[in-house]
Amino acid sequence: MAEKDNIILTGFSFTGKSAVGREVARRLGWHFADSDDEIVALAGKGIPDIFAQDGEERFRELERQVLATICEKESLVIATGGGAVVDPGNRELISRRGVVICLEATPETIHQRLIAAQETYHTVRPLLAVDDPLQHIRSLKAARQPWYDTADCSVCTDNLTLDHVVERVIHGFRQVSAHNSDPAYFEGASFVVTTATANYPVFIGWGTLGELGRRMLQTRLSKFANIISDEEVFLHYGARTSESLEQAGFNTESFMVPPGETTKTIDTAVSLYDWLVERRAERGQGIVALGGGMVGDLAGFVAATFLRGLPLVQVPTTLMAMADSSIGGKVAVNHPQAKNLIGAFYQPRLVFIDATTLSTLPKRELISGWAEVIKHATVLDPEFLLFLESNVERLVGLEAETTTEAIRRSGSLKAMVVSEDEKESGRRMILNYGHTIAHGLEAATGYERFLHGEAVAIGMMGAAMLSERLGLIPKDVVLQQRKLLQRFSLPTTCPGIDKAGVLRAMELDKKVREKAVRWVLLQGIGETVLRDDVPLEEAVSVLEELIGD
């Protein structure tokens, strides 16, 4: 049996172990156990009665028995009693069977929480039933502190919301797990994405799809995988994916959706919910997103919302998804009036990329993917942009080494930004370069005329033109960008588009704040600025130039 399979919360009473543990378990798709609740169930009486009728030694005996039982399980979040760590046998057990995280709070905070709970529930709290409760808490906590300090990490809960404590517990678990886990989980990874809520490897290879099952074994998911794909991708890679998973011991089920962005709707998500309900899917069962950005967004949205969260594994098969959308945890479905309007931030457990799957992409879709790669280089890495300019023919021809290197460099740039800003509250906004116009174009044309990368390429031109109009960059930069996009056969104009429809869609875009459109503009290659004061007439003028009015 594998070790360190659980998260075990220690700490003094009223540091939040039960509430935090339940929410951590919900977010991870694990089960939750409270050792005090298990003791009550085993004894058939409440804890105050156990102490009063049988004595503390009997309570500690029951506590040891309960911990020995529940710690043998896997993928469990366990809240321990405040005094459990005093017993050396308990300390050895929890240290061996889980990542131990101590929830801390000052005696003053604990005292205030005790008083509030007593007033709310009208029950006498034993820690308050003394002459000087605060001093009693100080003394008892100080006596136990050496044992609390043996935890793998600690989280101070005094001034944090439940959500913030939960995020820090999960982040601590990820960090400790990454340090202590089987090195094979990260060995060979092209790079690792580390955020406040997740820590996961990204594997990029050539002809490696058969290794997916072996890599997924390291994620500690239950041995059941729900594969979500589109009909065209599954025709090419469904059997190989299923075979790899089944050879590794997974049971698999598959659901195929029609290809294309128009599939990415709440109605399709409901169909997937129905399928999961019919198969009685449980927490811990993985969702494997096999396909391009549409499948990754849709399957990720379903994973984030079904049973309040199922583990997600991204297996992208398009360049767009490999270099960008599979990394960073943005999942969504479209609304008729705006792209990705209904979504969440939900990180995968693993991203597994076999770049040979690009060989079966339609040429237009392959070309579309280079837009996001060029975008990352333009806003983040001038040297990478030179690499792209120097290797256009090799990349267009899918030369193995050059292509995997481009995917790796593009993805690692995305990972760097995501690691700094998981939920797009700051720096991550720069990755929306070109997307303001792009999403407007897609929505205004019903997601039918443009592939996403084509719209992004046009949007990048619009953003560069605006940057020049506002005096941020010289015209040479605009021309350099246009030339590179055209060398990859990407569009740089959009004749025949309804300008008013694009403007309406832009106003509904998720990047709008206080009714002002936020533009990501260039100050130079590798330098960006966010602007929400772009005059409407300038944006309209650029649109007219792109459309050819």
- Just list the catalytic residues: 308, 330, 372, 414, 424, 428, 432, 435, 439, 452
Residue 433 to residue 431: CA distance in whole angstroms: 5
Tell me the CA end-to-end span of the chain in Å, nearest whole number: 68
Q: Dihedral of the CA atoms 316, 317, 321, 326 (nearest 10)?
A: 0
B/e letters for 481-510, b = 16+ CB within 10 Å, e = fewer, are bbebbebbebbbebeebebeebbebbeebb
323 contacts 372 by C-beta, under 8 angstroms:
yes
Residue 370 to residue 396: CA distance in whole angstroms: 9
99 contacts 29 by C-beta, under 8 angstroms:
no
Q: Which residue has the tokens 């599954």?
A: 234
Residue 342 to residue 460: CA distance in whole angstroms: 24
Q: Which residue has the tokens 């407007």?
A: 440
Distance of CA 202 to the CA centre of its chain: 13
β-pairing, 527-531 with 519-524? antiparallel
Tokens of 36: 């005090």
Q: Kindly give, in sequence order, each residue whose CB lies less than 8 Å from that of residue 250, ignoring residues fewer than 6 positions away.
A: 213, 216, 223, 224, 225
Label residue 129 exposed, middle or buried (CB < 10 Å: 0-12, 13-18, 19+): exposed
Give me Rg for the CA atoms of the chain: 27
Give the Cβ contact number of residue 5 at 10 Å: 18
Residue 59 to residue 36: CA distance in whole angstroms: 10
410 contacts 323 by C-beta, under 8 angstroms:
yes
